[in-house]
A and B are shown apart, each in its own frame.
Chain A
Amino acid sequence: MTGHRERQIVVGQAVLPVELTPEAISLLWFGAVTRNAHLIHYDTEFARSEGLAGPVVMAQLHGCLFHRAAAEFAGAGGRVREVGWRNRAPAHVGDRLVVTGTVQSVDASSGAVTLDLVERCGADGVVCCRGRAVVIPG
Chain B
Amino acid sequence: MIRSAVLELVEDRARASVGRWERRSLGVVRAEDAAEFARAAGERAPRLVDPTRADFTVHPMYVVSLLRGAPGADAAEFRPDGMYRDEVPGTDGLDVRLMAGGQDVRWVGEVRSGDPIELRRALTAVERKGVGEGFLLLTMEKVYGAARGAMVEVTERFIVR
In the assembled complex, which residues on chain A have CB atoms less than 8 Å from the CB atom of B64?
60, 63
**Alpha-carbon separation in the docked complex, A40 to B80 (Å):** 12
- Knowing A34-B67, A63-B61 are in contact, say whether A84-B43 is a contact too (CB < 8 A): no
Partner among B68, B81, B107 whose Cβ is within 8 Å of the Cβ of A35? B68
Task: Indicate if the CB atoms of A60 and B101 lie closer than 8 Å.
Answer: no
Within 8 A of B (CB), among A61-81: 61, 63-65, 67-68, 79-81
In the complex, how many residues of chain B place their beta carbon closer than 8 angstroms to a beta carbon of chain A?
35
- Knowing A26-B42, A30-B40, A63-B61 are in contact, say whether A35-B105 is a contact too (CB < 8 A): no
Contact with B along A1-45 (1 / 0, CB 8 A): 000000000000000000010100010011011111111101000
B102 within 8 A of A: yes
Task: Indicate if the CB atoms of A36 and B43 lie closer than 8 Å.
Answer: no
**Alpha-carbon separation in the docked complex, A105 to B135 (Å):** 34
B66 within 8 A of A: yes
Task: Indicate if the CB atoms of A29 and B40 lie closer than 8 Å.
Answer: yes
**Alpha-carbon separation in the docked complex, A26 to B43 (Å):** 12
B103 within 8 A of A: yes
Partner among B40, B65, B97, B99 whose Cβ is within 8 Å of the Cβ of A63? B65
In the assembled complex, which residues on chain B have CB atoms less than 8 Å from the CB atom of A38?
81-83, 98
In the assembled complex, which residues on chain A have CB atoms less than 8 Å from the CB atom of B69?
35
Task: Indicate if the CB atoms of B81 and A84 lie closer than 8 Å.
Answer: no
In the assembled complex, which residues on chain A have CB atoms less than 8 Å from the CB atom of B74?
none
B41 within 8 A of A: yes
Task: Indicate if the CB atoms of B60 and A20 lie closer than 8 Å.
Answer: no
**Which residues of A are interface residues toward B (Cβ below 8 A)?**
20, 22, 26, 29-30, 32-40, 42, 46, 50-51, 58-61, 63-65, 67-68, 79-87, 129
